[in-house]
Amino acid sequence: MTAGPGARLLRPPTSSGRATFLELFFDLAFVAALTQVSRRFAELGDETGWALVSGFGRTLLLFLALWLIWSHTAWITSRYEPERSIIQAVVVGTMFAGLVMAVTLPRGMEERALPFAVAYLSVMVVRPLVIAVALRGHPRRLVPFRLAVWAAASAPLWLAGALGPDRLLPALWAVALGVDYLAWILGWPLPRLGASAVGRWRIAGMHLADRYQQMILIALGESILLIAIVFGGADYSVERAAAFVVAFVTSALLWRIYFYHAGLLLTDALGRAGMPGRLGTASERTHLLIVLSVLVTAVGYELVIDHPYGSPRPGWLLFVVGGPALFLVARMRLEYEIFGRVSRTLVIGLAALSVLTPALSRWTSMAALSVVAGVLAVVALLEALRRRGRPAQVPAPAVGREPSDRDDSEA
């Protein structure tokens, strides 16, 4: 593992497991991007039927492209020394591309599709080639090389979607993004070179957990920012003030449920896992769902604060109830990954939201959000009571439990 000058780029065992200031700076571009995703979702509040489904799918596709850029960057700084100049240049370059994607995102599947696609491809194709060159003489250089080849293979679909007829863009980009995600799952297999199984990668578990937790806080922070902007810009009324309070309480409950205890013990779980790379990849998909659920829920806040006592349309329930329901599903998945079980309290909370949804469709939006906050409060309270007086929980990861017995020089 020390062959060639490229070995200096790898994270040494003595490297700090905490995220660097550069990575926190990098996240600022994605704060802007997540805000734009929320804005696109919010525009769907009055839509119904196919218009709602189509609009939601388009915005989801743009979010998934952003997430792939962010998560790849988190893995790069978890595997390579972020204090090296080349890695810092890669992160700053990725930040600029992410900022371009954020700026173009409001019309990212319309007239600004080309700059969005070019910014995305500049990261997916150019960045791994730069890292591969920097790793010269080291076996691990084949990993970014594989990634660049697969990204180049999907690039024509991205460009064809941006330059072709508008009606073909969603389908072409959906296929292209599917290729990019599938390649990651499969380890970017190539003829004669084979694949590089991500589950066997050597990673800094503390660092990766730190990055996931920070992204959750960023998403929650974006929801708080949205609450403040919407309430501050609307005409003041007691009804809107009440909706503002309930929205804040809901965000606080999401924070509590995530971190108590599964999110808080993610670092320990990655340290105990025999194959932390496998647990890291599973956790990456789980945190994708959690971040998406927080963004969707935040859109519900905006719709309720704007019209607290208007009858909720179907599109509103997708955000007011669907966001928290998705959050509970993702939180159950995280609990299984860390403890090898699922809390019955979370299942009860999800079942309650499912049972109450038909009734909520006939109530005011304020009543719907209040019921959702009540369900989340009960979940948080029952979880606290269940753990009261018991010893600290010890992670028992159900994913990546078995140690790797294969010497993979590319890991």
Look at residue 396 and tell me if it is in a domain.
no
The per-residue pLDDT for 287 is 96
Cβ–Cβ under 8 Å, residues 176 and 154: yes
Cα(43)–Cα(107) distance, integer angstroms: 12
In the chain, pLDDT over 70 holds for what percent of residues? 94
- Cα-flanking dihedrals φ and ψ of residue 150, to 5°? -65, -40
Helix axes 276-306, 365-387, angle to 10 degrees: 140
Look at residue 398 and tell me if it is in a domain.
no
Question: Could you tell me if 168 and 89 lie in one domain?
Answer: yes
Question: Could you tell me if 160 and 229 lie in one domain?
Answer: no
Cα(339)–Cα(336) distance, integer angstroms: 5
Question: Could you tell me if 241 and 319 lie in one domain?
Answer: yes
Q: Where residue 230 falls among pLDDT bands split at 50, 70, 90? A: confident
- Rounded mean pLDDT of 97-105? 95
Residue type, 132: A
The per-residue pLDDT for 233 is 78
Cα(47)–Cα(372) distance, integer angstroms: 22
**Measured between alpha carbons, how far is residue 148 from residues 55, 357, 370 in Å?**
31, 45, 48
Question: Could you tell me if 98 and 217 lie in one domain?
Answer: no
Residue type, 127: R
Q: Where residue 408 falls among pLDDT bands split at 50, 70, 90? A: low
Domain boundary among 167, 196, 225: 196
Question: Could you tell me if 134 and 252 lie in one domain?
Answer: no
The per-residue pLDDT for 203 is 80
Look at residue 260 and tell me if it is in a domain.
yes
At residue 108's C-alpha, the angle toward residues 107 and 110, to 5°, is 60
Look at residue 299 and tell me if it is in a domain.
yes
Look at residue 85 and tell me if it is in a domain.
yes
Total tally of structural domains belonging to the chain: 2
Question: Could you tell me if 42 and 115 lie in one domain?
Answer: yes
pLDDT at 86 over 50: yes
pLDDT at 274 over 80: no
Look at residue 400 and tell me if it is in a domain.
no
Q: Where residue 407 falls among pLDDT bands split at 50, 70, 90? A: very low
Question: Could you tell me if 169 and 221 lie in one domain?
Answer: no
Q: Which of 253-257, 273-277, 287-291, 302-306 has the lowest mean pLDDT?
A: 273-277
Question: Could you tell me if 169 and 252 lie in one domain?
Answer: no
Look at residue 408 and tell me if it is in a domain.
no
- Rounded mean pLDDT of 211-218? 94
pLDDT in tens, 288-305: 999 999 999 999 999 999
Domain hosting 190: range is 5-196
Highest mean pLDDT among 17-26, 216-225, 386-395: 216-225
Predicted TM-score (pTM) of the model is 0.93
Question: Could you tell me if 177 and 324 lie in one domain?
Answer: no
Question: Could you tell me if 316 and 182 lie in one domain?
Answer: no
The per-residue pLDDT for 395 is 79
Question: Could you tell me if 66 and 107 lie in one domain?
Answer: yes
pLDDT in tens, 1-59: 445 567 788 887 767 677 888 898 999 889 999 999 999 998 887 787 888 899 999 99
Residues with Cβ within 8 Å of residue 53, at least 6 apart in sequence: none
The per-residue pLDDT for 122 is 96
**Measured between alpha carbons, how far is residue 403 from residues 64, 257, 341 in Å?**
31, 30, 20
Look at residue 234 and tell me if it is in a domain.
yes
CATH number at residue 336: 1.20.1410
The per-residue pLDDT for 320 is 94
Q: Give pairs for 127-132: CB < 8 Å, separation 24+.
A: 127/72, 127/90, 127/93, 127/94, 130/86, 130/89, 130/90, 131/9, 131/76, 131/80, 131/86, 131/90
pLDDT in tens, 309-367: 877 676 788 899 999 999 999 999 999 999 988 999 999 999 999 999 999 888 899 99
Cβ–Cβ under 8 Å, residues 128 and 145: yes
Question: Could you tell me if 36 and 140 lie in one domain?
Answer: yes
